[in-house]
Amino acid sequence: MKKNTPTLYTAILVAACALNAPCEVIRCCFALEPTEPALTFSTSATQATTVTGSQTATPMSSPSGMRSPDRKRPVRKGSMTRTAAREIAPAATTATGATTVPATGGAAGNTNGNATPAAAVTAESAAAALEGALALTQNADFRAWYESQHIFLAPRSRLQNLQFSLWTDDQACIAKREGDTKFLRAGCTPMTIRISAKVNEAWADSFERYFGFPEHALDSVAYRIGDGSQAAIEKAITETLAQHGIICSAQSIAPDHQWILDSSLAKVRDVANAVIDTYWSGQRGRPSARQRIEALTSFVQNAIPYRKVDDGRNDSVKDGKYRCGLRTPGEVLLDGGDCDSKSLLLATLIRSVDERTPVALVYCMNDTTPHMCLAVGCDMFEGEQRINVNGTQMVLIETTSDWDMGHVGASTDIVNAEAQPLR
């Protein structure tokens, strides 16, 4: 299994555009992700074992089920927010820098000095406007990427029989919970699990390389005012990013989690089945939907290492691309990931064996740090934490530490969380 040394997140400037939105510079602010919460163990001959999570901060108060009026929305982990526009004046300008308007009739004016209605945009005029934008010196890096191939070509299969880390699961031994402390039944021995499964390492690395955009492709994207190049370059950027799993909106750039999940389902199914079969090997009959989710949750929490994902510095495939601080599911199986990468992996594993199970990525705050956990629609038990997603109650799952299903740390603010359902 690959190893990487976690490093601090960085702030980078990239430029990108959304269709029908001003061309703007994007500031990619990757928040520092907390390390996996450590667990401490204390034993006594006269009492049950107590396992206490290190997440002990008091959650911010707000009325149950309501957003406090003085609370801010959670910062979406992996999102790049827009900050400034970039424009280049037309080649012909007046002394004040304004666009020169012909004195007689033409596209920009007429003999009466009144503006002429803009001509309808045709395929030919759009193509010419794009070519004009691509010809700008500032767009040389984007042009090189734009004119390269944008079709994912799956490599020749290279299956690796991967031995995942040995882990213990104490869910069957939990007697009760009090806040972030779980009490285990005296004398109960947690289950020890190890699985091996075939992973297509070549596909995982190639798909990871295809996802995202090159470091310098969007550093200095620009357009000229008033010649149609703005809409043309914005459309080109938006459509090109979309082909590589990146959504560009008027406010931000973010990973297309749905595209990544759909592309990865078939590649993680063998792992999902191996986990479920091994976890429930002592049980007669097929595990229930809830039991399958429990097995996959335990696997992602414990067998997949927590690793900070730092574009450019902790890049598992070393290709210099920016991926909004996210790793694709196949790469997380090989090299680990942080909260959003592990949450997306778990969603993908669940959907690979239960295609109708509702899943949603949950954006929340862990103290002051952007965080993500997963919500799943399945059978729920009394006392489990849940979130309403479009009218469906879904149980919450923390993927970066081994809280049982329906429990997240006290420092995780769920009341003000926002859910992104995956189809």
SS (H, E, C) 241-289: HHHCCEEECCCEEEECHHHHHHHHHHHHHHHHHHHHHHHCCCCCCCCCH
Please state, as a whole number, how many other Cβ atoms lie within 10 Å of the Cβ of residue 13: 14
Residue with the two structure tokens 């199986």:
333
Does residue 134 belong to any structural domain of this protein?
A: yes
Q: What is the mean pLDDT of residues 324-339?
A: 94
Give me the pLDDT at residue 29, please: 28
Q: How deeply is 57 buried, as exposed, middle or buried, from its count of CB atoms within 10 A (0-12, 13-18, 19+)?
A: middle
Give me the pLDDT at residue 81, please: 58
Question: Mean pLDDT over all residues of the chain?
Answer: 77
Q: What is the mean pLDDT of residues 197-204?
A: 94
Does residue 130 belong to any structural domain of this protein?
A: yes
Instruction: Assign 67 to helix, strand or coil.
Output: coil
pLDDT band (50, 70, 90) for residue 59: very low
pLDDT band (50, 70, 90) for residue 74: low
Cα separation, 403 vs 397, whole angstroms: 8
Residue 377: pLDDT above 60? yes
Q: What is the mean pLDDT of residues 354-377?
A: 95
The pLDDT > 90 percentage for the chain reads 53
Its sign, for the CA torsion 181, 185, 188, 191, is negative
Give me the pLDDT at residue 316, please: 62
pLDDT in tens, 167-180: 999 988 999 888 78
Cα separation, 150 vs 56, whole angstroms: 47
Does residue 173 belong to any structural domain of this protein?
A: yes
- Residue count of the chain, please give it: 423
> Domain tally for the chain?
1
Residue 15: pLDDT above 70? no
* Structure-token pair, residue 246: 């990146």
Give me the pLDDT at residue 206, please: 95
Looking at this protein, which amino acid is placed at residue 421? P
Q: What is the mean pLDDT of residues 344-369?
A: 96
Does residue 220 belong to any structural domain of this protein?
A: yes
Closest CA to 317 of 155, 133, 198, 180: 155
Q: Are 58 and 108 a contacting pair, CB within 8 Å?
A: no
Residue 242: pLDDT above 70? yes
Return the bridge partners of 253, or none: 80, 248
Q: Rounding to the nearest 10 degrees, give the CA dihedral for residues 294, 295, 301, 302.
A: 140
pLDDT band (50, 70, 90) for residue 412: very high
The pLDDT > 70 percentage for the chain reads 71
Cα separation, 271 vs 394, whole angstroms: 24
Radius of gyration of the chain (CA): 25
Residue 73: pLDDT above 70? no
Return the bridge partners of 193, or none: 167
pLDDT in tens, 78-125: 776 543 336 776 655 433 333 322 322 333 334 444 544 555 678 899
Please state, as a whole number, how many other Cβ atoms lie within 10 Å of the Cβ of residue 251: 13
Does residue 100 belong to any structural domain of this protein?
A: no
Domain that holds residue 205: 11-59+72-90+121-422
**What distance, in Å, lies between the first and last C-alpha atoms of the chain?**
31
Does residue 34 belong to any structural domain of this protein?
A: yes
Give me the pLDDT at residue 75, please: 64
Does residue 116 belong to any structural domain of this protein?
A: no
Does residue 113 belong to any structural domain of this protein?
A: no
Q: What is the mean pLDDT of residues 371-386?
A: 95
